[in-house]
Amino acid sequence: MERRKIGEIEVSPMGFGGWAIGGPFTNADGDALGWGDVDDAESKAAIRAAFDAGVTLFDTANVYGTGRSEQVLAEALGGHRDEVVVATKWGNTMVEEFGVLDGADGSVANLRSSLESSLRRLGTDYIDLFQFHLNDYAGPEVDDLRTALESLAEAGKIRSYGWSTDRAKQARRWLGGEHYRAVQAEINVLSDNPAVIEIAEENGLACLNRGPLAMGLLSGKYLPGTQVGTKDVRGSSPDWMHYFEGGKPAARYLEMLGAVRDILASDGRSLVQGAIAWLWARSETSN
Q: What is the CATH number of the domain that holds 89?
A: 3.20.20.100
Residue 199, in any domain of the structure: yes
Residue 250, in any domain of the structure: no
CB 51 within 8 A of CB 77: yes
CB 35 within 8 A of CB 76: no
- The distance from CA 154 to its chain's CA centroid, rounded to whole angstroms, is 25
Residue 283, in any domain of the structure: no
pLDDT tens, N- to C-terminus, the chain (287 residues): 689 999 999 999 999 999 999 999 999 999 999 999 999 999 999 999 999 999 999 999 999 999 999 999 999 999 999 999 999 999 999 999 999 999 999 999 999 999 999 999 999 999 999 999 999 999 888 999 999 999 999 999 999 999 999 999 999 999 999 999 999 999 999 999 999 999 999 999 999 999 999 999 999 999 999 999 999 999 998 888 999 999 999 999 999 999 999 999 999 999 999 999 999 999 999 98
Residue 218, in any domain of the structure: no
Q: How many helices (H) and strands (E) does the chain have?
A: 9, 14
Residue 51, in any domain of the structure: yes
| Total domains, the chain | 1
Q: Could you report the per-residue pLDDT of 11-44, keeping only the tens digit for each?
A: 999 999 999 999 999 999 999 999 999 999 999 9
CB 157 within 8 A of CB 127: yes
Residue 269, in any domain of the structure: no
Cβ atoms < 10 Å from Cβ of 148: 18
- pTM (global) more than 0.85: yes
pLDDT at 237: 85
C-alpha 209/C-alpha 280 separation (Å) is 10
Q: What is the DSSP letter of 197?
A: H
Q: For residue 153, which of 163, 162, 143, 141 has the smallest C-alpha distance? A: 162
Write phi, then psi, for 33 (nearest 5 degrees): -125, -10
Q: Residue 87's domain spans which residues? A: 4-212
